[in-house]
A and B are shown apart, each in its own frame.
Chain A
Amino acid sequence: MVFLQLFWTFLKIGLFTFGGGYAMIALIQSEVTVNHHWLTPQEFTDILAVSQMTPGPVGINTATYTGYTAVLNAGYEPWQAVAGALLASGAVILLPVVLMLVAVIFLQRNKGNKDIDNIFSLLRKVVVGLIAAAALQLLTADSFGMPSLSLQFILSIAVFVAVFFFSLRRTSPILLILASGVVGIIVYSLFPL
């Protein structure tokens, strides 16, 4: 029964992934393409590309897409595939949401506890490093093009510097994303790669 399996599999994936969506990808891949054969490796790569290009958390995007495609591939109707998509998305967040609520309630009951204050004082500094690491890990040819005197690389650096600058000055991130996309369309249309 593909629905039950989807629910159980994404429940597991949600519970055992630390470090956000990108850490989830490896786990989802082995469950979905190797253990259950819901998707071919090719389809999975497609999903990743789509997830990175569409709004929303990568973990949710991947669950939604997998749920839809797995049910469709199992021979069901499209409306049942939509149910599969909703089921997988719900399953992947169910346990983390419960755990987070328990944690927040616990912390609010123990406000002012010196040990907890000390732990968070250090954690806040470490988290800054975690975000820096996330940015560093995205400095790839995938995002910027190959480091060379190519148009894509130079434009990407320019976009990076401009967005970094405006972001420090509190320009809306939404505006910056849309502007970068429009610049991409104009420049790469005028000078096709």
Chain B
Amino acid sequence: MVKYCELFYSFFKIGTFTIGGGYAMIPLMEQEIVDRRGWLSREEFLNQLALSQSMPGVLAVNMATGLGYRLRGLRGAFSAIAGNIVMPVLFIITLAMLFRHFRDNPYVERFFMGVRPAVVALIAAPVFRLAQSAKVTWATCWIPILAALLIWLFDVSPILVILAAVVLGFVYGRMKKQ
């Protein structure tokens, strides 16, 4: 049984060390929950990711809620959420108090200039790993590619893409059965 404090600690680490928002958190969550702790299978993780993206709200908090609940019920969900946001909130409050003093510090600026491309690479790298566990094959690789292109090049809202997938998945399943 997963302990509440372990859940809190895992999400605490994830929340504290992710710069660049929810998508940057995905690889850390995957590594911590699936690889290091072995709490969920990669497929369960992907199911939760799909669900989190289909619902309103902050992606990382949605993930913490769903994963926490799957592991330890309601209290698990709250442990994960608390762990996930406590440092960011404290950090921002401190920063809001001090911001004007070190906004222009050159070392802070240089640190982040180095970090920004790394964040993009961290988001890009798990795409291939996740594709494997989503059972994307040569025959089906057009699905994620089409979804990415629709959003990136044609500014289609991700909500629409998700809704279309829900409807098509349902219809395709029904047709296959007959």
Of the candidates A20, A89, A101, which one forms a contact with B59 in the assembled complex, judged by CB atoms under 8 Å apart? A20
Of the candidates A59, A168, A185, A187, which one forms a contact with B58 in the assembled complex, judged by CB atoms under 8 Å apart? A59
Decide if A133 touches B147 in the complex (CB within 8 Å): yes
Residue B2 is within 8 A (CB to CB) of chain A in the complex: no
Within 8 A of B (CB), among A40-75: 46, 50-61, 64-65, 68-69
A96 to chain B, nearest CB (A): 2
| Contacting residues, chain B, for A135 (C-beta < 8 A) | 23, 120, 123-124, 127
| Contacting residues, chain A, for B113 (C-beta < 8 A) | 152, 156, 184, 188
| Contacting residues, chain B, for A1 (C-beta < 8 A) | none
CA A104 to CA B43, docked complex, whole Å: 15
CA A188 to CA B47, docked complex, whole Å: 42
Within 8 A of A (CB), among B134-162: 134-136, 140, 143-148, 151-152, 157-159, 161-162
CA A127 to CA B118, docked complex, whole Å: 22
Decide if B117 touches A173 in the complex (CB within 8 Å): no
Of the candidates B27, B51, B117, which one forms a contact with A107 in the assembled complex, judged by CB atoms under 8 Å apart? B51
Decide if A17 touches B92 in the complex (CB within 8 Å): no
Within 8 A of A (CB), among B89-146: 89, 91-93, 95-97, 99, 103, 106-108, 110-131, 133-136, 140, 143-146
Decide if A164 touches B121 in the complex (CB within 8 Å): yes
Decide if B121 touches A159 in the complex (CB within 8 Å): yes
Decide if A54 touches B92 in the complex (CB within 8 Å): yes
| Contacting residues, chain B, for A118 (C-beta < 8 A) | 169-170, 172-173, 176
CA A136 to CA B49, docked complex, whole Å: 19
Residue B46 is within 8 A (CB to CB) of chain A in the complex: yes
CA A22 to CA B97, docked complex, whole Å: 24
Within 8 A of A (CB), among B1-38: 13, 15-23, 25-28, 31, 35
Q: How many residues of A contact B (CB 8 A)?
A: 102
Decide if A54 touches B49 in the complex (CB within 8 Å): no
Decide if B115 touches A124 in the complex (CB within 8 Å): no
Residue of A nearest to B16 (CB): A55
List residues of A whose CB falls within 8 A of some B CB.
14-24, 46, 50-61, 64-65, 68-69, 78, 81-82, 85-86, 89, 92-93, 95-97, 99-101, 103-105, 107-108, 114-115, 117-139, 142-144, 152, 155-157, 159-164, 167-168, 170, 172-174, 176-177, 180-185, 187-189
CA A84 to CA B154, docked complex, whole Å: 38
| Contacting residues, chain B, for A51 (C-beta < 8 A) | 21, 92
List residues of B whose CB falls within 8 A of some A CB.
13, 15-23, 25-28, 31, 35, 43, 46-62, 65-66, 69-70, 74, 77, 81, 84-85, 87-89, 91-93, 95-97, 99, 103, 106-108, 110-131, 133-136, 140, 143-148, 151-152, 157-159, 161-162, 165-166, 168-170, 172-174, 176-177
CA A65 to CA B89, docked complex, whole Å: 9
| Contacting residues, chain B, for A58 (C-beta < 8 A) | 20-22
Residue of B nearest to A158 (CB): B117
Decide if A93 touches B148 in the complex (CB within 8 Å): no
Decide if A156 touches B116 in the complex (CB within 8 Å): yes
Decide if B58 touches A159 in the complex (CB within 8 Å): no
A71 to chain B, nearest CB (A): 10
Decide if A122 touches B165 in the complex (CB within 8 Å): yes
Answer whether A55 and B134 are a contact pair too, CB < 8 Å, given A50-B92, A119-B169, A185-B111: no
